[in-house]
Structure 1
Amino acid sequence: MLKKGKLIIFIAVSWTVFITISSLLSFKELPKPGFQVSDKVVHAGIYFVFSVLWYLVLVKRVKKHLFLKIVAISALYGIVIEVFQYIMPYNRSFELLDIVANCCGILLGIVAVKLFFQPKQVKKKK
């Protein structure tokens, strides 16, 4: 059985591998689901989860500029994936709006973390 800390690392790494594989392979042959969602919403949702998971991994390990580092690393990862889509021959394409959607998801993830995961500051009475 994995400890809580190791479990969240496993989940974050698994999510990162999932993003990498699903972003670089072509799925044109797969049947479409019975409903449609904008791929930009999907990008935002995927990177929302990505940023929250990596926050949970790094919160006790990184002391300075944690949110800035998460935003920078997450955005860079999304950009690298888009560049790989451009240069690799897997019938995928680079889209600037995908990067924008990724960044929106990252920023929403950071907002969610600040709202739901950070301890509330207790005001000291004078």
Structure 2
Amino acid sequence: MRIPPIVFRWLAIIWTIIMLIGCLTPHADLPGELVEFNDKILHAVIFAPFAILWILAGFRLDYVLIAGILFGGLIEGLQYILPINRTADWIDLAADGLGTLIGVGLAWVVQKTKIIA
């Protein structure tokens, strides 16, 4: 059964909102497990599904890669500007980009093997 792109588009929108909320939540309000987990790995892990979902929603790989990096930059900028007890970090942005790149690669494999879409 082929899953229509509109389903992935809604999942991508929901995941993007969850990412934004999670990344802009003050540290004191986050579950202890998330704060203790390696921050850089967490950035990569949340950006990989972002890329996969947007690509499966029908967006081009290169556009999603650029959007992931820009979205990571937006998040880091907001963490710097907003008074939420979060700090911006260039290495976090690099981890966001790496996670997006991994997601793009995985989505490319999924598309080539026609596993999902």
TM-score range, shorter chain: 0.7 to 0.9
Output the CA distance in 2 between the equivalents of 1:85 and 1:30.
15
Tell me whether 1:24 sits opposite 2:1 in the alignment: no
Output the CA distance in 1 between the equivalents of 2:101 and 2:28.
30
- TM-score by structure 1 length? 0.78
Tell me whether 1:39 sits opposite 2:33 in the alignment: no
Other-structure match for 2:78: 84
CA deviations 1:2-21 (Å, max 9, x no partner) are x8333222111000100111
Tell me whether 1:94 sits opposite 2:83 in the alignment: no
Alpha-carbon RMSD across the aligned residues, in angstroms, is: 2.2
1:83, CA displacement in angstroms? 0.1
Other-structure match for 1:48: 48
Specify the code of the residue in structure 1 equivalent to 2:67: I
Partner residue of 2:108 out of 108, 114, 118: 114
Give ranges in structure 1 of 5+ residues lacking alignment: 60-65, 121-126
**Higher Rg:** 1
1:97, CA displacement in angstroms? 0.6
Output the CA distance in 2 between the equivalents of 1:31 and 1:23.
13
How many pairs align?
A: 112
Other-structure match for 2:61: 67
Output the CA distance in 1 between the equivalents of 2:30 and 2:6.
34
Greater share of helix residues, 1 or 2? 2
- Identical-residue share of aligned pairs (%): 29
SS for the counterpart of 1:90 is: coil
Give ranges in structure 2 of 5+ residues lacking alignment: none
Preserved CA contact (<8 Å) 2:27 2:85: no
